[in-house]
Amino acid sequence: MHDNEHTSHHEESFLRKYVFSLDHKTIGKQFLIYGLIMFFLGGGLALLFRWKLAYPEKPLPIIGVSQQYLDEGEVVTGADRMWERIYESDEEEWLELYMPAGVMTDAFYNMLFTMHATVMVFFVIVPILVGAFGNFLIPLMIGTRDMAFPILNMLSFWFAVLAAIIMMAGFFVPGGHAAAGWTGYTPLSADAQWTGVEWGQILWGLSLFVQGLSSLVGSINYITTVINMRAPGMTFFRLPLVIWSLFIVAVLLLLAFPVLSSAIVLLVFDRLAGTTFFTATAEGGGDPLLWQHLFWFFGHPEVYILILPGMGIASELIPVFSRKPIFGYRSMVYAMIAIAFLGWIVWGHHMFQSGMRPGLGSIFMTTTMLIAVPSAIKTFNWLGTMFRGSIRFTAPMLHGIAFVSMFVIGGLSGIYMANTPVDVYIHDTYFIVAHIHYVVFGGSLFAVFGGIIFWFPKMYGRYMNDVLSKIHFWLTFIAFNCTFFPMHILGVGGHRRRISNPLAEAVEVVTQEQTFADMNIFITMSAFTLGFAQLILVFNFFWSMYKGKTAEQNPWHVNTLEWEAPTPVPHGNFGQIPTVYRGPYEYSVPGEEADWTPQAQPEHAPATGGD
Amino acid sequence: METQNNIDVRERPPLSNARLAILVLLGAETMLFSGLIGTFLVFRVGNVTWPPPSHIGIELPRVVTGINTALLLISGYTMFQAWRAIQKDSVKQLRNWLLITGILGLLFLGIQGSEWVQLIRKGLTLQSGVYGGIFYVLIGCHAVHVLSAVIWLFIVLGMAMAGRFSADRYTGVDTCTIYWIFVVALWPILYVLVYLS
């Protein structure tokens, strides 16, 4: 093989190669591992508060005191001994403050759900979808050697790490972490007197500001790379759809995040410098609703930032494993552009309940409903791609199909909430919790899992274990639906979200109280199953890295350029930069011998050995 | 070299990577200021009297800032001249125009700083309601941008002194010029909105 002739021969130091790497593939893998670590952290937070929702007054298992200890004061478990010691010491311990005897305080519950959403949105989904897949795939799939600005690329990763460190520090400062929800609504977040949170909210803001810098640098890099560095012959309409999605998302991130940054600047001034931008005062005060406008002007494009790359990944998986061209390539691209555009003019639909002129509300309602059109185009195109294809039910394909079906459920519940009159009723209930999880977990995360298994052979030169992948898929798929589907029913029944003790909460329909409690216990059990199922993925991931079956260069028989590069991909990616002759989805072309025609395969030479 | 090989087989893009990147960055900067200007407008439109009644007696220095605006606009012109100079391969002219531009930028910051000191003495502070708050944050955000543009400009000037630029190698001057023009062009909008409206 002459593949290595273009790679640099000088030895790179350990730091340069693995830590402060400039290679887009290493940075992509760094983002992936970073995202997975944060995924477990964010999931752990969710499991903690799920326990509280199911058993509001019972101590947590393992770290909480035992029943005997509560009843008779008898020390039975190690946790009992620990709590004895904590109570005897005069020092105020962290655990004692937030979980006396293992029962979570309401204040800590507020921090947990706030940080669960913050971590998942800003530190898991975006880093994995955009950071990991974006970095790994863009140069490989457009046929270039690296990103346009490798140093900025490295900075983008280390800014993200810095942001995560700042965010995690918030748990250990006096007053605890931000507790005003991931949306940080003012005046709740603007003044410490409401939540008792002093530094947590400020660190939350600073961390997101730094994360904004990371996104900014990253998106500048992506946009420049996609526009300027495509391989010869790689026109815009020969780009794989996942690259289109990442490109559009980079534009969204670039334009949306600075608006959040401006809001954060104002919030931090309110906190630190005594301004009153978000607090209504008697004289010359500000406007609490302003925060919601600024936040959701960023926040709604952010919602599409979370889902578009998932759509892109599904658009890669489905044609490959249906062995058919994607149905309606151009309409897929235009649908994504339409979704991205509409994302800017719908932010008000988050605020129907916050006080909005009804006339304005109906405008936002209409624009929101319009999003159903491009979304439906995409869904029917995926179905059309699978229709009469020779579908291979590999693990990535299972995730791709799960993406489409879960996205449909999430999309349909979205239509309910787009309707102002319906939203007024179900706003801030578990219905919306179900909706967001169907879209972001059922949508984005299934795409992430599918993408990891699909591109793993290119990343590490080995397959992920198929049996484990499939066990992980089915466990996740079933536990996911058991966790989040009942939330629709809870929500319609009037169960509000962000309530730490559903039993104490004055639920309007008293007769349903017991039903809600049972359903909450069922949801919590399913959530724990869901959480533990992810351990299989992580075990599989690291085990396969060293012990997996060795993969050939193009194990799934895919057309796109990343599979033209040798495995493992060397520094510089390609021996000779490939030339692109066709679109990315030419599968099962009539008259071709193989059922796949790589993008880099030259125009068909006259067939040999005549038929 | 690897990158060399990469460029050989590709058509030369109409915008270089650096120029494209700086334009993309300006997109983000525009949105940052849109957020702050939007906030200003919410307060401005939401209050019947502006400045609010509690601020009567405090006047923003319109005339001095008007002169300052003129200085900044002139710096935009001198920066453009510096950019023209390097295209004609005149490093000496580049240096002179850059120096003039930098001094104009520093002058702008100095005048604004002294105006701020006087305003604070008169009692307009961050804490004096949203009127003072948004004034200092919005104008301050622009001032931070001018400051970073000035620092960038002096780095470019240093590189020019070291003879790093020529008629066919001037990416540093090019990107700095684009950024400078953005910062200059933004100011009249803020002046009209904050000082004159």
Q: Give the end-to-end CA distance of chain A in Å, rounded to a whole number.
A: 33
Written as one string, the DSSP assignment of A177-214 is: B--STTTT-TTTTT-HHHH--SHHHHHHHHHHHHHHHH
Q: Does A579 touch chain B (CB under 8 A)?
A: yes
Closest-CA distance of chain B to residue A524, Å = 40
**Domains of chain A and CATH, by start:** 20-58+103-501+522-547 (1.20.210.10)
The average pLDDT across A279-289 equals: 83
Q: Which residue has the higher pLDDT, A605 or A543?
A: A543
What's the ipTM? 0.93
Q: Which residue has the higher pLDDT, A434 or A592?
A: A434
Residue B1 lies in a domain: no
Distance (Å, rounded) from C-alpha A278 to C-alpha A185?
Answer: 9
Cite the beta strand spans of chain B per DSSP E: none
Residue B6 lies in a domain: no
pLDDT at A440 over 90: yes
Contact across the interface for A283 and B129, Cβ inside 8 Å = yes
Q: Does A230 touch chain B (CB under 8 A)?
A: yes
Q: Which residue has the higher pLDDT, A518 or A205?
A: A205
Q: Which of B2, B29, B131 sits opposite A145 (nearest CB)?
A: B2
Residue-wise pLDDT tens digits, A116-154:
999 999 999 999 999 999 999 999 999 999 999 999 999
Testing the interface with A: which of B6, B50, B56 to mutate, by most A Cβ within 10 A? B6
Q: Which of A144, A265, A276 sits opposite B130 (nearest CB)?
A: A276
- Binned at pLDDT 50, 70 and 90, residue A511 comes out as low
What range defines the domain where residue B159 resides? 18-196
A199 and A173 in contact (C-beta within 8 Å)?
yes
The region, left, alpha or beta by phi > 0 then psi within -120 to 50, assigned to residue A346 is alpha
Half-sphere exposure of A59 (CA within 13 A, CB side): 21
Residue B10 lies in a domain: no
- Would you state the pLDDT for residue A175? 86
Residue B155 lies in a domain: yes
Share of chain A above pLDDT 90, in %: 72
Interface of B with A in 12-31 (CB under 8 A): 13, 15-17, 20-21, 24-25, 27-29, 31
- Would you state the pLDDT for residue A5? 41
Residue A415: CB atoms within 10 A of its CB come to: 15
Residue B4 lies in a domain: no
- Binned at pLDDT 50, 70 and 90, residue A388 comes out as very high
Residue A414's nearest CA partner among A291, A310, A300 is: A300
Q: Which residue has the higher pLDDT, A402 or A8?
A: A402
What are the two backbone dihedrals, phi and then psi, of residue A66, each rounded to the nearest 5 degrees? -85, 165
Instruction: Count the domains in chain B.
Output: 1
- Binned at pLDDT 50, 70 and 90, residue A530 comes out as very high
Residue B103 lies in a domain: yes
Contact across the interface for A284 and B3, Cβ inside 8 Å = no
Q: What is the DSSP letter of A393?
A: -
Contact across the interface for B25 and A274, Cβ inside 8 Å = no
Q: Which of B31, B39, B55 sits opposite A290 (nearest CB)?
A: B39
- Binned at pLDDT 50, 70 and 90, residue A8 comes out as very low
- Would you state the pLDDT for residue A76? 84
* A:B CB pairs within 8 Å: 131
pLDDT (tens place) for every residue of chain B, 197 residues total:
344 444 444 567 888 999 999 999 999 999 999 999 999 999 999 888 888 887 777 889 999 999 999 999 999 999 999 999 999 999 999 999 999 999 999 999 999 999 999 999 988 988 888 999 999 999 999 999 999 999 999 999 999 999 999 999 999 999 999 999 999 999 999 999 999 98
Domain with B165 in it: what CATH number?
1.20.120.80
From residue B22, give the alpha-carbon distance in Å to each of A209, B76, B179: 20, 17, 7
- Would you state the pLDDT for residue A355? 79
Residue-wise pLDDT tens digits, A531-579:
999 999 999 999 999 999 999 999 999 999 999 999 889 989 998 999 9
- Would you state the pLDDT for residue B11? 67
Q: Does A271 touch chain B (CB under 8 A)?
A: no
Distance (Å, rounded) from C-alpha B145 to C-alpha B132?
Answer: 20
Mean pLDDT across chain A: 91
Residue B40 lies in a domain: yes
- Binned at pLDDT 50, 70 and 90, residue A604 comes out as low
Q: Does A183 touch chain B (CB under 8 A)?
A: no
Residue B156 lies in a domain: yes
Written as one string, the DSSP assignment of A92-151 is: --HHHHHSGGGPPPHHHHHHHHHHHHHIIIIIIIHIIIIIIIHHHHHHHHHT-SS-S-HH
Q: Which residue has the higher pLDDT, B184 or A492?
A: B184
- Binned at pLDDT 50, 70 and 90, residue A359 comes out as confident
- Would you state the pLDDT for residue A512? 57
